[in-house]
Structures are given as C-alpha cells and as structure tokens.
A = this chain, B = another copy of it.
Amino acid sequence: MPTLSEVARRAGVTSATVSNVLRNRGRVGEETRQRVLEAVEALNYRPHLAARALAEGRAPTLALMVSSIANPFYPEFALAVERSARESGHFVIICNTNDDSIAGRAYLEQIAGNLSEGVLVMNANLDFDDLRATQERGTPVVLCMWERPGDPPGLPCVAVDFRLAGRLAGRHLIELGHERIGAIVGSKPSGIHAPRYAGFADAMRETGRKAYAKSKRHAPDTIAGGYAAARELLERDPALTAIFATNDLPALGAMHAAADLGFDVPRDLSVIGITDIQLARESRPPLTTVAVPTIEAARMAVSLLRELIERPARGEEPSALMCVTSSPELVVRGSTRSVSKKKRKES
C-alpha cells in the first residue's frame, strides 16, 4: 500500500501538504492541489481512515460482514465483536450479505475503505479473490472463524478447531454407550461443516466404529432443516439412539422431530450439537453441545484487525497471520444420556 510520503514524493510536495489537501485544510494553491490529487489517484492511495476520521471528529468504524443475520449465532457474534471494538473506540457496522456473494462484493466495494477502515468476515459466503482485492486496495480483512487451523486460507484469520469439536461430540456419545448414531451436517459435503463431521468420523474410527454413510444427512443449517433431516433419519432407522448435528440449530430441530415421532429426549434419543448459542441453553431439555469460544474469537478478530490497520502507519507490511482460539469444550446438558433399555412410545 502506498504511503503518504510516497504520494508527497510523486507530487513534489511535503507530506503536510498532502495531508492538508486530503483534509480540505490549510491554504493550498489550486495547481498544487490538483497535482496531489493526481498522485493520490495514480498510486491508488487510501488515506489512513482512522487518522482522517479522528481529524474530522468521527470515530473509526469496522465492518462486520455476516452471511445471515437471521441465524441467531450471528447476532451473538456481532454483539461480542461490538463489545471488543468499543474498547478501542471503534463502531461496528453490520453488513448482512444474505448468503449472496454479489451483495457481498458490492458491500466490499462500497463500504471497505470508504465507510470502514477494516473488514471482519464471518462466513459471509464471499469470494476469496474479492477479499484479497479489498486487502490489496489497502483495507485489511480478517476471517473470523476459519474452520481448518491446519490449512491456512492465505488471508489473516482467527481459526477454531471445529474438527476437534466434532470429535468431542462423537466421543461423548460413544462414552454414553451409543452405537447407532445418526448425523446431520448443516452444509454441503464440501461446505464449512465438513471438518466438524470429519471430527465426528475420527471419534468413530478411533473407537473401532464406522460412521454409517446411510445415517448421514446434509441439511440447511436451520431448525427446520434439522427437523426434516431428523425425521428422515428416524423414520428410516427407528433404532437410532443418538443424533449428532454439526450445529445447534439443526440439533434443536432434531429434538422437535423426535418429539413429534414420539421419542423422548434423552430417554429414547440423545441429541448433541456444536456452538452453544443462547437457544441451546433455553431449549427443553437444554441441549448438550460442544461450545466454541465465540467471545474469544471475536476479541482475537478485532485485535488482529486493529493490528493490520495500524501496521501500514508504522511502515510494516500486512501479512497472512492466523490466530487459533482455545479449544472447543463439551457442555453436557439434558439432551444426552447413557443408552438404557429403550422405552420408546409407538409413534
């Protein structure tokens, strides 16, 4: 990214003059002003927005791009980001892409660098090339919950070991004696939940079990998606004693499906999710889940983004850093139980 002094050198003026032109301050002759603006354009210079914002009496702003504000995880994450950002005097503007990569690209083009000095990306279904282009235009980008710490994305990111989360969920069910376990994966086979399912399959393999392909369903990452997938699984194989879902929302849907088919959770069927959203605590029974460190991830993402924003001002290059959060942790609640002699009502 070009610096203020490179612009000054090209325009043949001092840095102070460049700064005056950009801030509409001081007395600068019209010809000089034009020369500076041409140098700014030629070098594609973006002024340091935080500095400019402060000079103009505005607070600096970060953008948080999310894929679906209607999924309750995202508002929870947004809240955590906001709390961290507020500590350094940043405002957070939330941009909802609705899983639409074209809307996402438009947000990036319009907002990054204009309205915000940095961009946090939370599963916003954005093209990595677009994110790299944003970064190259001088606006740092941080991916907030990269799913594969062992496979860095080539962009600055906070990584969460979601494969471990899946493994912990699988192990918990195995330790409770479950053998016939259905799985609901809240993304496409190659999608963002793949590492979670891979972890679950690890747990099966490690204990000499197979994860049965027939007992796996891919479904939308929603309560309704989990409901439909669980109905299918349970109707096909009523002898299932547990369901693992790669996310809390489909796990909650699975509990509803079980109830409608006459299975009591946890007596007849154990259900486990991943994430630990607020609703997991508030469901009946409360959902056993593997909690991911949401607040920690938000704090790390804001802190990494701030560092990337401040680097160019210190003359340092931005780099593709990766921070890894602490490990996900099993939270046992009322929706899982040891396999017992089953007392299943007829549905």
Q: Which residues of A does B touch, CB under 8 Å? A: 24, 27-30, 33-34, 37, 56, 58-59, 61, 63, 69-70, 72, 74-76, 78-79, 82, 86, 91-96, 98, 103, 106-107, 110-111, 114-115, 223-224, 252, 256, 259, 278-279, 282, 284
> A76 contacts which chain B residues (CB < 8 A)?
70
Beyond A61-B115, A72-B75, A256-B282, 5 extra complex contacts between A and B, CB < 8 Å: A28-B30, A82-B98, A93-B94, A93-B95, A93-B115
Task: Give Cα distance in the complex from A95 to B72, angstroms.
Answer: 17
Assess whether A278 is in contact with B70, with CB atoms less than 8 Å apart: yes
Contact partner, A106, options B30, B59, B115, Cβ 8 Å: B59
**Residue ID in chain B nearest A253 by CB atoms:** B282
The complex places the Cα of A107 from the Cα of B59 at a distance, in Å, of 9
Q: Is B82 a contact of A96 with CB atoms below 8 Å?
A: yes
Residues from chain B with a CB closer than 8 A to the CB of A69 are: 75, 78-79, 82, 94
Residues on B with beta carbons closer than 8 Å to the beta carbon of A224: 282
Shortest Cβ gap from A135 to chain B (Å): 19
B30 near A223 with CB under 8 A, answer: no
Residues on the B chain within 8 Å of A103, using CB: 86
Docked-complex contact B106 and A95, CB < 8 angstroms: no
Q: Which residues of B contact A111 (CB under 8 A)?
A: 61, 91, 93
A72 to B277, CA, bound (A): 12
CA distance A284 to B252 in the complex (A): 11
Q: Which residue on B lies nearest to A75, using beta carbons? A: B69
Of B63, B96, B256, B259, which is within 8 A of A79 by CB? B96
CA distance A28 to B24 in the complex (A): 13
In the complex, chain B residues whose CB is within 8 Å of the CB of A223: 282
B95 touches A91 (CB 8 A): yes
Residues of B within 8 A of A86 (CB): 103
Closest residue to A86 on the B side, CB-wise?
B103
User: A79 vs B93: C-alpha distance in the bound complex, in angstroms?
Assistant: 14
With a CB–CB cut-off of 8 A, which chain B residues contact A75? 69-70, 72, 74-75
User: In chain B, what residue has the closest Cβ to A80?
Assistant: B70
The interface residues of chain B lying within 8 Å CB-to-CB of A74 are 75
Q: Say whether B70 contacts A110, CB under 8 Å.
A: no
Chain B nearest Cβ from A100, distance in angstroms: 10
Question: Which of B110, B256, B284 is in CB contact (< 8 Å) with A259?
Answer: B284
Q: Cβ of A78 and Cβ of B96 under 8 Å apart?
A: yes
Bound-state CA distance A69–B74 (Å) is 9
